[in-house]
Amino acid sequence: MSDVRHFRKVSDLSAKEIRLVLDDAARLKLEPRRDVLAGKTVALIFSKPSTRTRVSFSVGVYQLGGMPLFLGEKELQMRSSETIEDTARVLSRYVDAIVIRTFAQQDVDDLAASASVPVINALTDERHPCQALTDIFTFEECFPDPRGRTITYLGDGNNVAASLAIAGAMTGVNVCLSTPEGYDLPADMWAETQKAATAHGVRVWQERDPHTAVTGASALYTDVWISMGQAEDEEKLSALRPYAIDERLLEFASPHAVVMHCLPAHRGMEISDAVMDGARSVVFDQAENRLHVQKALLAFLLGADEC
C-alpha cells in the first residue's frame, strides 16, 4: 500500500517524473491507442460539473484499453452514509484507480490516505493539477524552449492559478500572477509556490498592474472569476474587470505571446470573444491536451509507463 502513487497535487510528482509524463503525453498524442489499462477499471467520482475532465478521462481510459466508471457523488453512499475512508477502502477492492473532483482538498487527501490504488485530483477548490500539467505541455508545444519564458496569469488567485504556478516552477517556466488586491493566492498556496520557485531556480512573482504584467510574457492565461461553488459577487467582478484579456490588453504583450484559458470561459468577462477566437488563442489545444496528458499520467501512476 505504501508504494501506491497518488496525484493529489502537482508536487506529488518530482520534476523528473513530470518530464517523463509530458514526454509520454507527446507520444500518446501521436499514437493514441495503447493497451496499458487492458482489463482495468478507473472510477471517476465527480461532485461538481465537468465537460473536459470527465470526458477526457473517460475517453482516455477507453483508449488505453480500460473501462471508466462514472460515479456522481450524490449516487454514492460516500459522506451521506459512510466515511470517505470507507469508500476508499471499498472502491480499492474493485477498481484500479480513482479520479475525484470535489470541493475540499482534504477530501482528496483523506481518500488517498485510505485507498490502495492511485487517487487523482480532478479539481478541488484549492488545486487543479491535471490542468496545470496540461498547461505546461501546451506551453511547450508553443515554445519548445520554455525555460526562462514567462506565463502571466491574470484574474482570480484560484485553484488553477496556484497549480499553474507550482507546475511552472517545477518545469523551469516563470509565472507572473496578476491579481487584484483581495484576490491573491491564499497564503499557504503562495508559500508553496515560492518554495517550488526557489527549489527550481525559477521566478513566481506578483504584479498588480495587468499592463506591466503582460509585458514580456510568452503566454497570457486566465480563468473564470467565479469558480464552481462560489457565490456571484459584484465586488469581486468589479475588482477583476481590469484584468480581462481583451484586444486592448493584448496590445501590451509581445507579438509572439499566446493566450491560454483552462475553460469553461465566460466570454465577455475574463476573456473577449475576439481574443478567445483569435489567432493567438491556444485554448482548444489546451482542452484537447487534457486527454493526452491524463493518459500519460494514468500510465505512469499505474506503473505501465513506457518511459
Exactly one of 4, 76, 142, 228 binds ligand NVA (CB under 6 A); which one? 228
**Position of minimal CB gap to ligand CP:** 53
Closest distance to ligand CP from the beta carbon of 268 (Å)? 19
Judge whether 262 counts as a catalytic residue: yes
Query: Which has the closest alpha carbon to 166: 201, 129, 137?
Result: 129
Stretch that binds ligand NVA, among 38-46, 207-215, 221-229, 242-250 (CB under 6 A): 221-229
Binding status of residue 238 toward ligand CP by CB under 6 A: no
The answer for residues whose C-beta is within 8 angstroms of residue 292's C-beta and 6 or more apart is 25, 26, 28, 29, 32, 137
Judge whether 266 counts as a catalytic residue: no
Which of 135, 290, 292, 294 is the catalytic position?
Answer: 290
Binding status of residue 173 toward ligand NVA by CB under 6 A: no
Binding status of residue 11 toward ligand CP by CB under 6 A: no
C-beta closer to ligand NVA: residue 84 or 160 = 160
Judge whether 101 counts as a catalytic residue: yes
Strand partners, 44: 70, 99
Stretch that binds ligand CP, among 77-85, 103-111, 246-254, 261-269 (CB under 6 A): 261-269
Binding status of residue 51 toward ligand CP by CB under 6 A: yes
Binding status of residue 215 toward ligand NVA by CB under 6 A: no
Which of 8, 101, 127, 149 is the catalytic position?
Answer: 101
C-beta closer to ligand CP: residue 43 or 202 = 43
Judge whether 128 counts as a catalytic residue: yes
Judge whether 131 counts as a catalytic residue: yes
Stretch that binds ligand CP, among 51-59, 76-84, 213-221, 251-259 (CB under 6 A): 51-59
Closest distance to ligand CP from the beta carbon of 122 (Å)? 7
Stretch that binds ligand NVA, among 18-26, 173-181, 193-201, 222-230 (CB under 6 A): 222-230
Binding status of residue 152 toward ligand CP by CB under 6 A: no
The answer for residues whose C-beta is within 8 angstroms of residue 148's C-beta and 6 or more apart is 172, 174
Binding status of residue 292 toward ligand CP by CB under 6 A: no
Q: Are 221 and 260 in contact (CB under 8 A)?
A: yes
C-beta closer to ligand NVA: residue 176 or 224 = 224
Exactly one of 223, 245, 250, 286 binds ligand NVA (CB under 6 A); which one? 223
The answer for residues whose C-beta is within 8 angstroms of residue 245's C-beta and 6 or more apart is 154, 220, 222, 259, 270, 271, 272, 275
Q: Which residues bind ligand CP (CB under 6 A)?
A: 50-53, 123, 131, 262-264
- Catalytic site positions: 101, 128, 131, 223, 262, 290
